[in-house]
Amino acid sequence: MRIVNIGSLNVDFVYDVDHFVQKGETISSKGRSAFAGGKGLNQSIALGRAGVEVFHAGLVGREGAFLRDLLRDSGVNVEWVREVEDCPSGHAIIQRDAEGDNCIILYGGANRMVDEAFVDEVLSSFSPDDWVLLQNETGSLSYAIHAAKDRGMRVVLNPSPVDDVLLGCPLELVDCFILNEGEAARIVGLDVARSTPERLLAAMGERFPRADTVLTIGSEGSMCRCSGEVFLQSALRVNAVDTTAAGDTFTGYYLAERAKGHDAPGALRVASAASAIAVSREGAAPSIPVRSEVEELLGSTERADSGSLLRAMA
């Protein structure tokens, strides 16, 4: 079983601010950094560092060759990462506040040039035993879902960002959603401010009865509904420096554990530890831990008797 991620590769420009800029306001940033990022790249790096076989498929401009090198150095197969002419790599403008929270503007660039021919070419190397991982930062998402399902592959979707393109995709074909509360609320048509995580998870189950749903709930942790059973995992308490890519780290480590045959509660636990490390560090891709770091954190929390963190709810 192999995992192929048809996903974005971005350069993240991170601006440190006291507060997020408001309509009509001009503010000065206190610093600027640049990191490798993109939901696709981050998730592939997490999968690679978690130790499973992963192929990244995506497009960069000429100046984005370093993104491919970083993937390769993280254990990701980059056979399907291509440079395109006359189009810059995708990038993100990220405001980061003192709490480590962010807001992000995306420029799709080369990521948006992923077309049906490229999707077909990539998927032709994979078989029904393999899984495809997708997000909504590349072109041809709807086609990719159809094409992967036609090949009999398992489709895992991180439906981010949620927009009209995403809502127009054949989401009923998805086998596993990994998403946050805001994304779930928009997909099922609920008001996130008035919905508990339990309600959102139940609504996802009603709308997509065939699919597993993994819901991240920020500093509260995560929940999942897998084969009709619901599990909750508390978050590990850490000093948050930068939450960028915490969800991507969670996604990669969760999938890696599932791909290795571990059960959902075990996968939530490992993913939770990996994302706790990611939020304690700066940047997107650079914040993603290697497996030994995750195991070390899990070992220390076990020694501190964190066995009660995991609670089966049903």
Is residue 281 within 8 A of residue 241, CB to CB? The reply is: yes
Is 257 a binding residue for ligand RIB by CB under 6 A? The answer is no
Backbone angles phi, psi at 90, to 5 degrees: -65, 150
| Cis amide prior to 161 (ω within 30 degrees) | yes
77 or 244: CB nearest ligand RIB: 244
Is 92 a binding residue for ligand RIB by CB under 6 A? The answer is yes
2 or 112: CB nearest ligand RIB: 112
Which of these ranges, 36-44, 124-132, 147-155, 293-301, lies near ligand RIB under the rule CB under 6 A?
36-44
64 or 153: CB nearest ligand RIB: 64
CB of 12 to ligand RIB, least distance (A): 5
71 or 309: CB nearest ligand RIB: 71
From the centroid of its chain, how far is CA 267? 15
Amino acid letter, residue 91: H
218 or 266: CB nearest ligand RIB: 218
Instruction: In whole angstroms, give the CA distance from residue 119 to residue 129.
Output: 18
Query: Binding residue for ligand RIB (CB under 6 A) from 144, 245, 267, 278?
Result: 245
Which of these ranges, 34-42, 116-124, 141-149, 199-207, lies near ligand RIB under the rule CB under 6 A?
34-42
Amino acid letter, residue 140: S
Is 310 a binding residue for ligand RIB by CB under 6 A? The answer is no
273: CB partners within 8 A, 6+ apart: 236, 253, 294, 297, 298, 301
39 or 225: CB nearest ligand RIB: 39
Query: Binding residue for ligand RIB (CB under 6 A) from 5, 12, 55, 221?
Result: 12
**Residue 63 token pair:** 């100046």
Instruction: In whole angstroms, give the CA distance from residue 103 to residue 110.
Output: 22
Instruction: In whole angstroms, give the CA distance from residue 131 to residue 55.
Output: 10
**Residue 287 token pair:** 């914040």
Q: Site residues for ligand RIB, window 93-132 (CB under 6 A)?
A: 104, 106
